[in-house]
Structure 1
Amino acid sequence: MNATFTLLEMRRITRDWGGMFFTAVLPAFFYLIFGATVDAKDASIGNGNVAMYVMISMAAYGAVTATTSIGGNAAVERQQGWGRQLGLTPLADSSYIAMKALIAMTVAAVPVLLTFTLGAATGARGSAGAWALSALLVLAGSSVFALYGLLIGTAFRSEAAVGAAAGTLVIFAFLGNLFIPLSGALLSFAKLTPLYGYAALARYPLTEGYLPDGSHDPLWLPIANVVAWLAIFGALTVVLVRRGRERQ
């Protein structure tokens, strides 16, 4: 992995103030609105409070926004000719992938760090283990959505499509119980959607599987959701990449 190229890519991404706002600042702002200032923020949930529940949710939203955008843009770059340019350099494909993965995880860590810092300063409460493990799960789980971005970028070969993919995360976030608590038939349907398992798993160290409506998710459910969507995104991406090579 080329350190100079990695730093240049990081500078290019962080110079996009609009993208960084939606990735890092907006989730933290949502936490302040939905978590830090609501009357129920001190209500107990699991081994902590509602403020921490919302904090983890908003950090997860910011992290997947980052990894989706970076994964999608990486696919578009290579399909629009950047891959041929890199082929003239000593940079191997494995190094390029490692570089993009490092950048995605670094950028995804920004909203996690910012939102967790605000949470600590505004009354989010939970066990020490819940704080540490939730942060790790938020960051690690967001890598699944780098595949989602890669899938969209490969399918449509357009930066606009990648932006639209990031936009669809808002819908997934609602269905994932990130913004408002769901119940009834809508909750049952939501458990099949991509962000539900990731968010539920990230909050599991806090909630121990209990939902705001009083129901309970066994640990296997969010794990199965994450594994299933990882397999779906991965398989579809492989199919599209192979088709693209056949056309060439």
Structure 2
Amino acid sequence: MSISNALNPTLGTTLNYAAHDLKRLRRDLPTLFFSIGLPIIFYILFGAMQEYGDIEFNGGNVAALVMIGMALYAGATGAVGAAGSMVAENRAGWGRQLALTPLRSSQLAVANFLNISVRAILPIAAVFITGGLTKASMQPDQWTLAFLITVVCAIPFGFYGMACAMLIPSENTVSVATSTIVILAFAGNVFMPLKESLLEVGRFTPMYGAQALARWPLSEGSQMINGERLFIEDPLWYAYVNIAVWTVVFVGLCLLLHKRDKERA
């Protein structure tokens, strides 16, 4: 019997199920590539290999700014893939199988949250480690704060993954959901600097607030743009409002779609 089971059988059962669920990730190589391998490649191409990556910036450099953006993309992709897979599996009958086990709904919810969190944290950590081994440079407190905020900003995208899986019930749901994160990342000024005119639209897209907040320990509100000026300043409340609004939208959409599915059943 494990220590967690001995101390608290309910907690032990929850953790055992979460660990069992995570083990299946080893067989899901496409998801691992898109959530870990691709963001690392993007960071190396757009950050570590570029001359502008060495430009000093608020105690760090531009390569670190690119790294944080790629880490956010990695974490969001991991969260979307995990949440979308859960919905797809439940629709395929896995939920009915779990209903026959002693696991309670609250335990399943905790286990699913742990699964999504781990699937978000691992890619973020991988990108940060790659950045630390290459040319990304920040102060120690900036490294810590940027990592923690990136994790907190990435996990809520799990609701986006759930909404996509419920809205598009097909075998390719998860692939579609994770692929659209690339589009949202471009629109949110995560990958390559947008022109100032395009950023005016990008501020209303889902990933703008997440990237602005994740980069804040280093950027202090500066947004990279494509133009004569390299940076413009955005206030912090832009990021807070963006994140709050889109989180409400995604959660509300999940609730509406869940209610629709229950009425159909």
How does the TM-score come out when normalised to structure 1?
0.96
Q: How far apart, in 1, do the equivalents of 2:133 and 2:173 lie?
A: 37
Structure 2 counterpart of 1:124, from 136, 142, 156: 136
Structure 1: where are the runs of 5+ without partners? none
- 1:199-236 deviations in Å (ceiling 9; x for gaps): 11100110000122321110111111011000000011
Task: Give me the whole-angstrom Cα distance separating, in 2, the residues matched to 1:123 and 1:187.
Answer: 27
Is 1:47–1:207's contact at 8 Å kept on the other side of the alignment? no
Aligned with 2:23 (options 11, 29, 32): 11
Taking the aligned partners of 1:112 and 1:14, their CA distance within structure 2 comes to 18
TM-score (norm 2): 0.90
Note the C-alpha offset of 1:100: 1.4
Partner residue, 1:206: 218
CA distance in 2, matches of 1:203, 1:234: 24
Aligned counterpart in structure 1 of residue 232 of structure 2, from 215, 221, 235: 215
Q: 1:44 is matched with which residue?
A: 56
* Residue aligned with 1:201, SS: helix
Which structure's CA Rg is the greater one?
Answer: 2
Alignment of structure 1 residues 144-183 onto 2, 5 Å: 144-183=156-195
Query: Please, which of 249, 252, 255 is the counterpart of residue 235 of structure 1?
Result: 252
| Matched residue type, 1:193 | T
- One-letter amino acid of the counterpart of residue 233, structure 2: H
Deviations for 1:57-113, whole angstroms, at most 9, x for unmatched residues? Answer: 111111000000111111122122211111111111111121111111112112211
- Partners of 1:189 and 1:14 lie apart in 2 by 39
Q: Name the CA distance, whole Å, in 1 between partners of 2:167 and 2:30.
A: 25
Mapped to 2, the partners of 1:120 and 1:210 lie a distance apart of: 22
Q: Is the 8 A contact 1:210 1:216 kept in 2?
A: yes
Q: Please give the secondary structure, in 1, of the residue aligned with 2:30.
A: helix
- Partner of residue 84, structure 1: 96
Question: Which residue does the alignment assign to 1:64?
Answer: 76
Which gives a bigger RCO, structure 1 or 2 (Cα 8 Å, sep 6+)?
1
Number of equivalences:
248
Structure 2, unaligned stretches of length 5 or more?
A: 1-12, 225-229
Amino acid at match of 1:202: A
Q: What is the aligned partner in structure 1 of residue 8 from structure 2?
A: none
Is the 8 Å Cα contact of residues 75 and 157 (structure 1) preserved in structure 2?
no
